[in-house]
A and B are shown apart, each in its own frame.
Chain A
Amino acid sequence: QLQLRESGPGLVKPWETLSLTCNVSGVSVSSRSYYWGWMRQSPGKGLDWIGVIYYKGDTFYNPTLKRRVTIFVDKSKNQFFLNLTSVTAADSGVYFCTRPWDIGSWFDPWGQGTLVTVSS
């Protein structure tokens, strides 16, 4: 059974880079036709899509974040990662890793989420 778990620093200083890890268990991160994605939820707000990566390495990012986002995979560790540069308080929230079943389709499952606060 596929399970996802996020990890990373809970506190990031303004203008620094937020780096998160999603540990994948139950399936290989390089499984054929699999996508992997990152979402976030600001306090009291809805969900926002950050970006996805295809098993072949192709990436698709939310245009509003594209200049600051990088998603990549480490097959040897069965993990995928999120880097978000030049963070501000607006980037604070709970970050989730998830599996989109295709571009434009649904997300299942989700990790439990990790809270990130941007503050000096």
Chain B
Amino acid sequence: QSALTQPPSVSATPGQKVTVSCSGSTSNIGKNYVSWYQQLPEVAPKLLIYDNIKRPSGIPDRFSGSKSGTSATLGITGLQIGDEGTYHCATWDTSLSVWVFGEGTRLTVL
């Protein structure tokens, strides 16, 4: 069982917006920055969001991150077929001194 809780799956149609939630605790999300990773089928994870809200260069502004209390959210607007894959949240757990991840959320673009 992961320290961070994500919904197993979300789905939407092309062009729509979708959000992926990531719920943690006061010792992880509540105290530390959250990062998000996109893992397309058969491909390595790719950094999408870091420090809760920042996008690395090359990541389109269709992707956004937010954090409130012990939860974080990834938003994707203008959904494309190519966005289908699994999205992982991650942060540091101050009490355990480990990085913790969610189980991943599978995005289906119908």
Interface string of B91-104 (1 = CB under 8 A from A): 11000111111111
* Interface: B20 (CB within 8 A): no
Q: A96-B44, A105-B33, A106-B47 are in contact. Are A47 and B88 (CB under 8 A)?
A: yes
The answer for the CA separation of A45 and B104 in the assembled complex, in Å, is: 8
Contact B92 A46 (CB under 8 A): no
Interface residue SS majority, chain A: loop
Q: A45-B103, A103-B92, A104-B92 are in contact. Are A111 and B44 (CB under 8 A)?
A: yes
The answer for the CA separation of A110 and B56 in the assembled complex, in Å, is: 14
CB < 8 Å neighbour of A49 from B37, B56, B98: B98
Contact B33 A110 (CB under 8 A): no
Interface residues on A, range: 20 to 34
Q: Which residues of A contact B (CB under 8 A)?
A: 45-49, 62-63, 96, 100-101, 103-113
Question: Can you list 26 A-B pairs with a CB-CB distance of less than 8 A?
Answer: A46-B88, A46-B102, A46-B103, A46-B104, A47-B37, A47-B88, A47-B101, A47-B104, A49-B98, A49-B99, A49-B100, A49-B101, A101-B50, A103-B92, A104-B33, A105-B50, A106-B35, A106-B47, A106-B51, A107-B37, A107-B90, A108-B50, A110-B45, A111-B44, A112-B43, A112-B44
